Amino acid sequence: MLAFDSHVHTRFSDGTIFYNGIADLKELQLKHGFDAFTITDHNTTKGLRYTRRACEQLGIPFIPGVEISTKEGHVAAYGVERWDHPAYRLPLVEALELLMEQNAVIVPAHPFDGRMGIGNLIFEPAIKRMIHGFEIFNGASPRQNLRCTRKAGNLPGELAMYAGSDCHSKVMFYRYHVELDCNSTKVDDILEAMRDTTKVKPVGSLLEILRWIGDYVPAEIGRRKLKRARKGVEVPELFS
């Protein structure tokens, strides 16, 4: 069994993880004891090389990921090495086709989070054929979790159900995560298991909403403060 947070933002988009370099990853690993690590920065893969090397140093399998802003909403994808299309320019279908060319594992993020989710499109046969799962639990959007559970709770079997923290800081990391039925630490095997509806288990509960009220808002204020304070400050490089 491999446990990991499937939705993580870092300093390479609008998050703060890696502000302290590899120390951040070490701290998170010590605290949560996950078996693999991925990042899903917004519309960029520029953090992949950096994160891959950090994971190599700690001996943790690294799953390359990205979160793409399509015209119809956000989509997380794994196994993607390069993505540099600007946000909100590509229609969903076009983005999915490009991801399929890269043989990506495709998981619409927070589908029922209002304007940022692709919503009922996950039920469209043409779309459903191109995706592997959907995010039933998202750490940044309790409302979507309620709506998604209600609307898409009957999709299991057809699509894998994912849970990710959507953290933009260390505080929220791992709030939701997945357990993957996979005994290998090879990335190709992990990606293969991620496509299998029977092998992905979302971990977390709707009651997270209570913790969300206590943690998310302060974490978000803290992140904004930190980002402002860091503006213009050179971030120390992880590797020299």
Q: Which residues bind Zn ion (CB under 5 A)?
A: 67, 74, 109, 166
Q: How far is CA 24 from the centre of its chain?
A: 17
Instruction: In whole angstroms, give the CA distance from residue 181 to residue 175.
Output: 20
Pick between residue 132 and residue 182 the one whose CB is nearest to Zn ion: 132
Pick between residue 95 and residue 109 the one whose CB is nearest to Zn ion: 109
Instruction: In whole angstroms, give the CA distance from residue 98 to residue 152.
Output: 25
List all residues 6 or more positions away from 103 whose beta carbon is below 8 Å from its beta carbon. 79
3-state secondary structure of 99: helix
Q: Are residues 62 and 89 in contact, defined by beta-carbon separation less than 8 angstroms?
A: no
- Least distance to Zn ion from the beta carbon of 164, Å? 8
Distance set, CA 92 to CA 54, 129, 158 (Å): 32, 13, 20
HSE (side-chain half, CA atoms, 13 Å) at 135: 37
Q: Are residues 147 and 187 in contact, defined by beta-carbon separation less than 8 angstroms?
A: no
- Least distance to Zn ion from the beta carbon of 57, Å? 25
- Least distance to Zn ion from the beta carbon of 74, Å? 4
DSSP characters for 158-213? TBEEEEE--BSSGGGTTSSEEEE------HHHHHHHHT-TTTEEEE--TTHHHHHH
Q: How far is CA 128 from the centre of its chain?
A: 19
Pick between residue 106 and residue 109 the one whose CB is nearest to Zn ion: 109
Pick between residue 79 and residue 164 the one whose CB is nearest to Zn ion: 164
Instruction: In whole angstroms, give the CA distance from residue 210 to residue 234.
Output: 37
Pick between residue 8 and residue 159 the one whose CB is nearest to Zn ion: 8
Pick between residue 118 and residue 194 the one whose CB is nearest to Zn ion: 118
- Least distance to Zn ion from the beta carbon of 169, Å? 12
- Least distance to Zn ion from the beta carbon of 35, Å? 21
Pick between residue 74 and residue 223 the one whose CB is nearest to Zn ion: 74
- Least distance to Zn ion from the beta carbon of 198, Å? 26
- Least distance to Zn ion from the beta carbon of 119, Å? 13
Residue nearest to Zn ion (CB): 74
